[in-house]
Amino acid sequence: MVRRLTLAFVVILLLVIGLLPVLSMFVKSVIADGRLSLAAYEGLLASVRQWTLMGHSMVLSSLVTALTVAVGVPLGILLGKTDLPWRRFFTLLFVVPLLIPPYIVAVSWFDLLGSEGLLAHVLGASATRTTARLLFGLPGCTAVLFSIFLPIPMMLTMIFLRTINPRLEEAGRLVAGWRGVMKEITIPLVLPGVLLSAMLVFLLSFGEFSVPNFLRYDVFPVESFTQFSAFYNFKAATAAAVPLAAVTLILLLAESAFLRERTYQLRPFPERERLPLIRLGTHRRWLFASAAIAGLVIVIVPLVVLVIQSAGIDAYAEALDRAGGSLLRSLAYAVAGATLLTFLGFFTGYLVQTKALRYWRSVDSLTIFLFALPSTVIGIGLISQWNTPWTNFIYGTPVIIILGYLAKYTALTSRISVTQLAQIPPSMEEAARVAGAGWFRRMAFIVAPLARRGLVAGWVVGYIFSLRDTGITMLVYPAGHETLPVRIFTLMANGSPQLIAALCMVMITATLLPAGIAWMVPAVLKRKVIG
């Protein structure tokens, strides 16, 4: 009973935080002067510009998706399935761009290739005319978003590879080499993961507007944002957000219809058993070199450019002076967001894993839908729901920012919990139950401690994604409560490149430091226990 009530409460919380805003936004967009009206949409559909923008968005997202999948899946196989040296380091390296606010990567490339960038200093301004032209527009946007979203197909491929029963591959290895086994067995089995990643990359790049905005490639989500923040036309902003939600919904439905037939029992395998690894043999060298070069260009060069560009005490002093408050706020909100996300994700994950309520599948789909939904939609939805005289304690305070984090990122912590909980035999909880422990006691003393690694991982992921959030925060932050990514984004219009680079470095440090600590602490502790 306690269990059902608690889980039902969590579901209601998710509905209020996530679904209600989207619905309220939709309802308001079709009502004018108390009557049903499609006026807002007529304006939208009639304008040629909107269709052009939609076209741009589609082209950009398709290109980014095709590229990330084409590179990310082989990369995931290389890092997750072979004896490539340093594969763990490469995995961490390639993930970095996903962890920082997307536009920072764009800023960094601008600092390198722009007309006043580092390259121009070395080779002269004329040399960068072409690079700058390529950077500003579709090619630049595609390249930057590619480097940001590459880890998604890479990681999902690696995760799905781990769920394949090693016996299935061995049965193939009895009669065929790795090439045949990969082609006919392994890759078809990870196909659902590849599809999922393709869909996520498409939707995430579809909803991303800070990068296209900075690189001056006009895309659809910018419209909603501009209507709202430049013209204060909330109706038009809403109408422009609804197609984004519709595209998300359609893609998710298509995916689930397609996958329904294809999800085989993918259960994680006992950890002690190593995956059968492909021995690269003579291919080791050139594959290692390729991975190293890719990592250098995609990740290390942008970071180094920011370090060079920001070098010197002055830039950092000014950065802290002008954005110190935002930094502290960012940290506080991210800690709060991560903690709440961990709780919400744990219970949602528990619900999905144990199928404790009948509609567990819808809850799972809802979180994925919200994660894939463009930030603009969530932002506009939150405003539409909470901007009333009675709910100013939400709309006028940082609470609305936290609600945005919870709406968008619960899918991440929930999924991590599901994976972790799947490793715990149900008998653990059952034994506690037989011993007479109530549900909360079982959760607090048996299940949560057993799932602690998932909880820590969830917290770190929640922290990183809350901290890097730009899209939602930019729309909903109350005056005087802006976060660091938003502050940087606004300063970019007139701040010096040194200052911006320094701010970006501060942002990156704040993001990666806790992740680094969380990653090191268990290793240190373990060493102490053993040694």
Partner 1 sequence: MKIVGMDAVSKFYNGERALDNVSLEIEEGERIVILGPSGCGKTTILRLIAGFIAPDTGAISIAGELVSRDGRIFTPPERRNLGMVFQDLALWPHLSVKGNIEFGLKARGIPREERKRKIREVLDLVGMAGYADRKPAELSGGQQQRVALARALVLEPRALLMDEPLSSLDLELNIRLRKEILRLQEKLGFTMVYVTHDRDEAADMATRVVSMKQGRIEV
Chain residues binding ligand ADP by CB under 6 A are 272-273
CB of 273 to partner 1, least distance (A): 10
CB of 7 to ligand ADP, least distance (A): 37
CB of 270 to partner 1, least distance (A): 12
Q: Does 314 bind partner 1 (CB under 8 A)?
A: no
Nearer to partner 1, 133 or 183 (CB): 183
Which residues does residue 59 pair with via DSSP β-bridges, in sequence order? none
Using CA atoms, how far residue 364 sits from 350, 413, 415, 426, 458, in Å, is 11, 12, 9, 20, 16
CB of 270 to ligand ADP, least distance (A): 8
Residue 11 CA to residue 414 CA, distance in Å, equals 12
Nearer to partner 1, 174 or 479 (CB): 174
Nearer to partner 1, 357 or 422 (CB): 422
Exactly one of 76, 151, 153, 172 binds partner 1 (CB under 8 A); that residue is 172
Nearer to partner 1, 188 or 324 (CB): 188
Q: Does 262 bind partner 1 (CB under 8 A)?
A: yes
The total of other beta-carbon atoms located within 10 Å of residue 474's CB is 22
Nearer to partner 1, 171 or 520 (CB): 171
Residue 84: DSSP 8-state: -
Q: Does 259 bind partner 1 (CB under 8 A)?
A: no
Exactly one of 177, 268, 425, 426 binds partner 1 (CB under 8 A); that residue is 177
The entry of ligand ADP, partner 1, none that residue 314 binds, CB within 5 to 8 Å by partner kind: none
Q: Does 265 bind partner 1 (CB under 8 A)?
A: yes
Residue 291 CA to residue 83 CA, distance in Å, equals 13
CB of 272 to ligand ADP, least distance (A): 5
- Per DSSP (E only), the strands in 163-216 are none
The total of other beta-carbon atoms located within 10 Å of residue 516's CB is 13
Q: Are 207 and 377 in contact (CB under 8 A)?
A: yes
Tokens of 50: 């909107």
Here's the x/- map for partner 1, 178-217, by CB under 8 A: it reads as: --x---xx--xx----------------------------
Residue 322 CA to residue 232 CA, distance in Å, equals 27
The entry of partner 1, ligand ADP, none that residue 168 binds, CB within 5 to 8 Å by partner kind: partner 1
CB of 350 to partner 1, least distance (A): 27
Q: Which region, judged by CB under 8 A, interacts with partner 1, from 124-132, 172-180, 220-228, 309-317?
A: 172-180
Nearer to ligand ADP, 261 or 273 (CB): 273
Amino acid at 236: A
The entry of partner 1, ligand ADP, none that residue 116 binds, CB within 5 to 8 Å by partner kind: none
Exactly one of 9, 231, 264, 393 binds partner 1 (CB under 8 A); that residue is 264
H or E segment and range at residue 32? strand 31-32
Nearer to partner 1, 34 or 270 (CB): 270
Residue 362 CA to residue 367 CA, distance in Å, equals 9
The entry of partner 1, ligand ADP, none that residue 358 binds, CB within 5 to 8 Å by partner kind: none
CB of 177 to partner 1, least distance (A): 6
Residue among 360, 348, 354, 470 at smallest CA distance from 412 = 348
Number of alpha carbons in the 13 Å side-chain half-sphere of residue 301:
17
The total of other beta-carbon atoms located within 10 Å of residue 404's CB is 29
Which DSSP string do the residues of 264-277 spell out, in sequence order?
Answer: ----PPPTTSPPPP
Q: Which region, judged by CB under 8 A, interacts with partner 1, from 48-56, 65-73, 171-179, 280-288?
A: 171-179
CB of 274 to ligand ADP, least distance (A): 7
Q: What angle do CA 258, 263, 264 make, to 5 degrees?
A: 150
Q: SS3 for 471?
A: helix
Q: Does 529 bind partner 1 (CB under 8 A)?
A: no
The entry of partner 1, ligand ADP, none that residue 313 binds, CB within 5 to 8 Å by partner kind: none
Q: What dihedral angle (degrees, nearest 10) is formed by the CA atoms of 45, 366, 383, 485? A: -100
Helices 220-229 and 375-386, axial angle in degrees (round to 10): 30
Residue 305 CA to residue 301 CA, distance in Å, equals 6
Tokens of 258: 């397609």
Q: Does 282 bind partner 1 (CB under 8 A)?
A: no
The entry of partner 1, ligand ADP, none that residue 332 binds, CB within 5 to 8 Å by partner kind: none
Q: SS3 for 279?
A: coil
Q: Does 83 bind partner 1 (CB under 8 A)?
A: no
Q: In the complex, which residues of this chain contact partner 1 (CB under 8 A)?
A: 165, 167-168, 170-177, 180, 184-185, 188-189, 262, 264-265, 276
